[in-house]
Amino acid sequence: MKYIKSITLGLSFLLILFGLLGCGSESSTKKTGEAGKIEVDNSVEGDKAKKELIDKISLISEQNKDATNKVGYLESEAFITLKGDFNLIAKATGSAAIIDMNDGEHIEENIELLTKDVNALSSGEALKASKLLNSGKTIYEAVLMEDLHQVMESIDVSSYDNDLSTFINLNQDITSIDEISNEANETEDYIKDYTYKELDRLGLLIKEHENQFSSTEIDSLNSVIQNLKSSIQMQVNILQEFKAFYIDDGLEIEDKLNSAQTDFDDAANELEVLESEMGVEYLEEE
């Protein structure tokens, strides 16, 4: 009886053990099934993301072809928009393609390269790229950074590209009041037609993408734009003193110049901190 009892206990133990193993096997199968489902879902989502990327590129190609067929090139505003949309996709997908010239052939060549690169993406890579399209860092690098640094170069009083500095250097030997006044008017008009509008455009772009940036990043970007506007406005005020008729605001030109440079330096320093925190670096073309 003792042995029968032992055998019975042994059988009971084995049954419990096999039962546990069975549960474990069922759980493992369940987990494997869930993992497989996630993998399939990601694959489907990735394929969908890739198709959406290709559709975006196709739309860009159509816009370029329509413009090229009509006038041979894109209008300035249309080109800026197309360039931003294209370079954002290229940046998100890790493609070397880039549009930086308003030339139909150049644009189509890069569209072909980007299309090839996107088609080569795996489902996982396409899904990751799709998410990066809404990343503040990616948007800044692809859409804002280059244009922001270029307009800053034109606002920096110490830069060769600065319009006020160019005006002073070109007119330092001119004695005709009318001639200097005309040059001052032309320089002011150019600043208003380009620099003012470019700062406004960048401000609108920042607002358009504000949900993709943190509140701190948005505050910094807006502060940079505001300081740049303040700097260029003071430079315009200086230009007005060279006109035949102007309203004396009581400030010396040197004080105005220092104010313009201080506002610019504040913008440059804040942008440097922001880019460092975002982990991006602007490399000037040589």
pLDDT single digits (tens) 8-42: 444 453 444 344 344 444 544 455 555 454 455 56
What is the total count of domains within the chain?
2
Of 69, 101, 132, the one marking the end of a domain is 132
Nearest Cα residue to 272 out of 282, 262, 259: 282
Question: 106 and 151: one domain?
Answer: no
Question: 120 and 235: one domain?
Answer: no
- Per-residue pLDDT, 41: 59
- In the chain, which stretches have pLDDT less than 70? 1-42, 246-247, 249, 285-286
Of 91, 112, 132, the one marking the end of a domain is 132
- Per-residue pLDDT, 32: 52
**Model-level pTM?**
0.81
Question: 161 and 274: one domain?
Answer: yes
Query: Helices H, strands E: what count in the chain?
Result: 11, 0
DSSP secondary structure, 217-252, as one string: HHHHHHHHHHHHHHHHHHHHHHHHTTSSS----S--
Range of the domain at 187: 136-278
At a CB cut-off of 8 Å and minimum separation 6, what does 162 contact?
A: 154, 155, 156, 235
Question: 207 and 193: one domain?
Answer: yes
- Per-residue pLDDT, 244: 72
Residue 62 lies in a domain: yes
- Per-residue pLDDT, 2: 37
- Per-residue pLDDT, 72: 73
> Taking a C-beta distance cutoff of 8 angstroms, is the pair 268, 223 a contact?
no
- Per-residue pLDDT, 9: 43
- Per-residue pLDDT, 76: 87
Length of the chain: 286
- Per-residue pLDDT, 123: 93
Of 132, 163, 190, the one marking the end of a domain is 132
d(CA 161, CA 70): 34
- Per-residue pLDDT, 48: 93
Residue 39 lies in a domain: yes
Question: 153 and 111: one domain?
Answer: no
Residue 29 lies in a domain: no
Question: 118 and 227: one domain?
Answer: no
